[in-house]
Amino acid sequence: MPVDKISDVISLQAGVVVGDDGSLHVRGGYGNEIAYTLNGISLNDPYGNSRSIGLATNAVKEVSVSTGTFAAQYGNALSGVVNYVTKEGSDDYSFGLRGYMGDYITDRTSLFNNIDDIDPLNRTRLEGTFGGPIPEIPDAKFYVSSIYEKFKGSLYGIRLYNPTDSYLSPDNFQAVMQEEEVQLIHTILIHTAQIQMDCQQVMDR
């Protein structure tokens, strides 16, 4: 099945949906209510009970999803259990490499800042696998996999104001302001200073 991630296959199961952040939800539960195991070994992070590592798509041989009644051996599983079974080395050497790269593009530059600056390496994912027999060791085989993934982001902002900028001086604003706006800020500052002086005089009396 041509998929980019294993979660694309899991989401085809009944009762499983993928959230906006990419996390899986089984039977309406939270993403951290799923127990993930790799060849029977837990992959859950003890701190937040979420999946701690990712897996290369080419390295997975089988995925089983339990959305109903499951054995008590799976701790911290409230909504489902996902078990990955990895491939094993064979008598012949095998090598696999897959990946994709690209960027987002649209003509609505008024809504998305810097979207017209195309970077072909903005979103990159590479997967590599290698396996086979171990020389000089009878009946010994190995299989390794690796993932490289990088995403620089798709949303860009405009720096208008930082908390470190002084709010008492309009000169510290990096955005281009109209002359009327600058005069208005100066007027507000003058009135504020006058009110503070009047309050101080009242307190002195």
In the block, which residue shows the tokens 């990955």? 84
Instruction: Name the 3-class secondary structure at 31.
Output: helix
CATH architecture of 1-86: Beta Complex (2.170)
Answer whether 101's CB lies under 8 Å from 121's CB: yes
Point out the least confidently predicted range of 57-61, 128-132, 155-159, 173-177: 173-177
For the cut 70, the answer to whether the pLDDT of residue 116 exceeds it is yes
For the chain, what are the domain ranges? 1-86, 88-158, 170-204
Residue 31 pLDDT: 77
Residue 66 pLDDT: 81
Q: How confident is the model at residue 54 (pLDDT cuts 50, 70, 90)?
A: confident
Q: How confident is the model at residue 176 (pLDDT cuts 50, 70, 90)?
A: very low
Point out the least confidently predicted range of 30-39, 45-54, 70-79, 174-183: 174-183
Q: What sign has the CA pseudo-torsion 155, 159, 160, 162?
A: positive
Question: Which structure tokens are listed for 95?
Answer: 């090598």
